[in-house]
Amino acid sequence: MDVRVRFAPSPTGPFHIGGARSALFNWLFAKKYPNSKFVLRIEDTDRVRSSKESEENIKAALKWLGLDWNEGVDVGGDYGPYHQMERLDIYRKLAQKLIDEGKAYYCYCTPEEIAAEREALLRENKMPIYQGHCRHLTPEQIAKYEAEGRKPTVRFRTPLNQTVEFEDMVRGHMSFDSNGIGDFVIMKADGIPVYNFAVVVDDALMKITHVIRAEEHLSNTPRQVVLYQALNFSLPTFAHISLILGKDHTKMSKRHGATSVAQYKDLGYLPEALVNFLALLGWSSQEEKEIFSLPELIESFSMDHVAKNPAVFDIDKLNWINAQYMKKLSNHQITVMAIPHLVEAKYIDGTLSREQMDKLLRFTEIIRDHLSYAAQYLDYAPLFFDDKPIISGEEAIAVMQEETVPSVIEAFKTALQALDIVDAAHIQPIFKQITKSLKVKGKAVYMPLRLAITGQMHGPDLAGIVEVVGTERVLQRIAHSLASLPASN
């Protein structure tokens, strides 16, 4: 079987991780079969909400994630065009065919009339489906409506009393009562098709074999199935992949944090890590592991292990996965990823001298194990850039009020100034020496020194920080932070 799958986004806003997950599942599924095709079609019939910018963002995000398409917009293929707005003639012809065959009809009801009918039905606790006012119009009625200047929609005559069935790779055999569907609009009055019609025409004419998409569309599928039948198209296999929920088990939304691929890219997540994470949103591997490279995903992925129940978007898991991928990067790569964030936060202006770059690389080495993604560099940047630390908070102030603190600090300053080579290897022994000479515990040395040098109680390797900051600035910092303490009496 030559598998043909598609990803068919509507370019109406930021590209969500849910969309990226659908694209990924299609892409992975296609990779399993030789001669398969992954088609990218743009469903741009919503003239108000669609934009070129959004389309470009989607394409850029797919490329960034490594999800290349071998047919569709930009690359072409035998079944184009691949923008729905360039296919209007095709939809119009097929709508006309359905009208000619009596399977669809012009409907002159206005949006207001439809809304009023709907409300009335809902008031009576009835299903809000079109009651068929225009189902059997006489030529005189049509002439009257035309004379009134009404512009008709095209409505599909849904067959009554039928069981609408299809196979779903995730949900199994699905069946619906056609009486619950009602006659629905397939072409709007402006000659633009509605989603359910355009998607069927395109999937069929583009010879799509498997329609893998989000569960949100499950309720559209019965309408699509009756259209396939009316048009004598053979049904593809469907797969509706589960919803993505936030950690609180409500539908994933902005409240749960970043929802678009671009936001994750901007925060400095790695595409391989995001792909790895997205694959696990709904699919579970049969192996006892969570880290999958793209080739490993292609090897292991199977629609058989895509779950019906909702997937939970766990940001801690994404962070963990991203951190695993970051471990493989060099200090240089991490620093390069951090630089735009440092520029934006105005720590640097973008041009770094060789010496500054070397220092930054060394700083990266010191903090890198604490980072889950590049933007977190900013949480640590003050350790390197902020020469005016302030000690605040009861606990920190209490640490600094210990009797031994002044002598610890003096001993440290003296030892640091006496060093010829100011690197972590030479700084580290100083802390030990102070514990010995002043007969105090390690904590009584590290805590006040860390506070005095960084203003913080905890953090990455202190000797490393002293090394990158350098003696002169460390001494300035100590003077500054001590001056920030409340006067003791």
Catalytic positions, please?
254
Residue of the chain from 3, 4, 5, 10 that contacts ligand GLU (CB under 6 A): 10
Query: Of 377-436, which residues contact ligand GLU (CB under 6 A)?
Result: none
Residue of the chain from 3, 9, 37, 194 that contacts ligand GLU (CB under 6 A): 9
Token pair belonging to 240: 């509706």
CB 91 within 8 A of CB 51: no
CA atoms of 160 and 274, how far apart (whole Å): 46
Q: What is the CA 190 to chain-centroid distance, rounded?
A: 34
Burial 307-342 (b: 16+ CB within 10 A, else e): eeebbbbeeeebbebbbbbbeebeeeebbebbbebb
213 binds ligand GLU (CB under 6 A): yes
Residue of the chain from 3, 4, 5, 8 that contacts ligand GLU (CB under 6 A): 8
How far is CA 306 from each of CA 95, 112, 300, 338, 384, rounded to the nearest angstrom? Answer: 36, 43, 12, 36, 46
Q: How far is the CB of 54 from ligand GLU (least distance, A)?
A: 11
CA atoms of 54 and 264, how far apart (whole Å): 16
Nearer to ligand GLU, 83 or 362 (CB): 83
Query: Of 143-182, which residues contact ligand GLU (CB under 6 A)?
Result: none
Interface region with ligand GLU, contact rule CB under 6 A, candidates 7-15, 30-38, 328-336, 380-388: 7-15
59 binds ligand GLU (CB under 6 A): no
Q: How far is the CB of 55 from ligand GLU (least distance, A)?
A: 12
Whose tokens are 């009404």? That residue is 150
Nearer to ligand GLU, 42 or 399 (CB): 42
Question: For the chain, what's the residue count?
Answer: 489
Nearer to ligand GLU, 37 or 341 (CB): 37
Nearer to ligand GLU, 39 or 107 (CB): 39
Size of the site for ligand GLU (CB under 6 A): 7
How far is CA 137 from each of CA 94, 108, 141, 172, 235, rounded to the nearest angstrom? Answer: 21, 10, 6, 40, 32
Nearer to ligand GLU, 8 or 245 (CB): 8
Draw the binding track, 216-255, toward ligand GLU (x: CB under 6 A; -: no contact).
-x--------------------------------------
Q: How far is the CB of 129 from ligand GLU (least distance, A)?
A: 22
Instruction: Identify any residues that bridge with 210 across adjacent strands, giving them in sequence order.
Output: 5, 237
Nearer to ligand GLU, 281 or 360 (CB): 281
43 binds ligand GLU (CB under 6 A): yes
Nearer to ligand GLU, 134 or 198 (CB): 198
Interface region with ligand GLU, contact rule CB under 6 A, candidates 4-12, 339-347, 350-358, 442-450: 4-12
4 binds ligand GLU (CB under 6 A): no
How many beta carbons lie within 10 A of that of residue 404, not counting itself?
Answer: 16
Sheet strands (E) in 215-345 = 237-241, 244-245, 311-312
Burial 96-129 (b: 16+ CB within 10 A, else e): eebbeeebbbbbbbeeeebeebeeeeeeeeeeeb
Q: How far is the CB of 193 from ligand GLU (least distance, A)?
A: 12
Interface region with ligand GLU, contact rule CB under 6 A, candidates 8-16, 96-104, 137-145, 378-386: 8-16
CB 66 within 8 A of CB 27: no
Residue type, 228: Y
Nearer to ligand GLU, 214 or 342 (CB): 214
Interface region with ligand GLU, contact rule CB under 6 A, candidates 2-10, 283-291, 296-304, 382-390: 2-10
CA atoms of 228 and 261, how far apart (whole Å): 33
Token pair belonging to 143: 């002439």
62 binds ligand GLU (CB under 6 A): no
Whose tokens are 């991490």? That residue is 334
Binding site for ligand GLU (CB under 6 A): 8-10, 43, 199, 213, 217
